[in-house]
Chain A
Amino acid sequence: MSEFFTNLKENGTVNIVELGGYLDAHTAPQLENVFSDLIKSKRFNVVVNFEQLNYISSAGLGVFMAFIETMRENSGDIKLAAMKPNVYNIFDLLGFPLLYEIFNSENEAIDKFIKQ
């Protein structure tokens, strides 16, 4: 299994979280910490780039469910981008595309924030 990693970048008012490896029950707390830190520093516009993420389980999905309402209550959002087909399939099985905006690329997701 490939190691999980997160990398945080900024593009103006948009915060980009890059994910890689396996997001599972062991690694989900690392992503929770990233979102907690973003909220503490009042950064509510978030794009998550999934390009290098190979695997997500319910523990990982739960992180997005746990933080989306806080972001939206503060006029922000979590937008998702660049998922591999098998990762997208998991979101799709749960009806998440109706709840989260999912884009083909990081730039498209950033543009959506800028145009809002």
Chain B
Amino acid sequence: MNRHYSIEIVNRVSELNRIFEMITKFSLENSLSRDCDYNLNLILEEYLLNLIKYGYKDGRKDIIVVNIELSIDGMRIKVTDSADSFDIRNAEDYDSEMKLEDRRVGGIGIKLIKALVKRIDYEKMGENNIATFICSK
């Protein structure tokens, strides 16, 4: 059993597959439930996709570091990057009360992340953004 995993990826969408492979391994080694495995995939796909698509307007290359850690009271996911500042806690999410014709795709991922985690922390340290998500295991 390894209760802590860390991986570095380049800020390219194609790199997400490496994250999924790590989650599969992490879930198996720690006997995580199917729901927990699902949520872990979803939180990281949504956050990283948003980061990679919108966080590098100048197209620069970056290394994103993802840490996952299990503790007694839950799971901590930490993402460190040097993208443009983005505090997901203040991001506008999708309005699920809207009529179909008024709905737009934007914000769905943010809404899902906020629904699946217990807490989100964000801090800016120098050039780095550090986002931490706490969720149930």
**Residues of chain A from 44 to 91 with CB closer than 8 A to chain B in the complex:** 55, 57-59, 61-62, 65-66, 68-69, 86, 90
A1 with B105: CB separation less than 8 A: no
**Residues of chain A from 73 to 116 with CB closer than 8 A to chain B in the complex:** 86, 90, 93-95, 99
**Residues of chain B from 71 to 99 with CB closer than 8 A to chain A in the complex:** 94, 96-97
Tell me whether A68 and B100 are in contact in the complex, defined as CB-CB below 8 angstroms, given that A57-B46, A86-B38, A94-B94 are known contacts.
yes
A58 with B109: CB separation less than 8 A: yes
Report the bound CA distance from A62 to B111 in whole Å: 13
Q: Which of A25, A26, A99 contacts B100 (CB 8 A)?
A: A99
A32 contacts partner chain B, Cβ-Cβ < 8 Å:
no
Q: Which of A24, A62, A69, A99 contacts B105 (CB 8 A)?
A: A62
Tell me whether A57 and B96 are in contact in the complex, defined as CB-CB below 8 angstroms, given that A1-B20, A26-B16, A66-B105 are known contacts.
no
Number of interface residues of B (CB under 8 A): 26
Tell me whether A94 and B45 are in contact in the complex, defined as CB-CB below 8 angstroms, given that A55-B38, A65-B105 are known contacts.
no
Report the bound CA distance from A62 to B94 in whole Å: 12
CB distance from B40 to the nearest CB of A (A): 11
B101 contacts partner chain A, Cβ-Cβ < 8 Å:
yes
Spell out A's residues near B (CB within 8 Å): 1, 22, 24-26, 55, 57-59, 61-62, 65-66, 68-69, 86, 90, 93-95, 99
Given contacts A86-B35, A94-B111, A99-B103, 10 further A-B contacts (CB under 8 A): A1-B20, A1-B21, A57-B41, A57-B42, A57-B109, A58-B109, A58-B112, A59-B49, A61-B108, A94-B112
Spell out B's residues near A (CB within 8 Å): 13, 16-17, 20-21, 24, 34-35, 38, 41-42, 45-46, 49, 94, 96-97, 100-101, 103, 105, 108-109, 111-112, 115
27 A-B pairs within 8 Å (CB atoms) are namely A1-B21, A22-B20, A25-B49, A26-B13, A55-B38, A55-B41, A55-B42, A57-B46, A57-B109, A57-B112, A58-B105, A58-B108, A58-B109, A58-B112, A59-B49, A61-B108, A62-B105, A65-B103, A68-B100, A86-B35, A90-B42, A93-B96, A94-B94, A94-B96, A94-B111, A94-B112, A95-B96
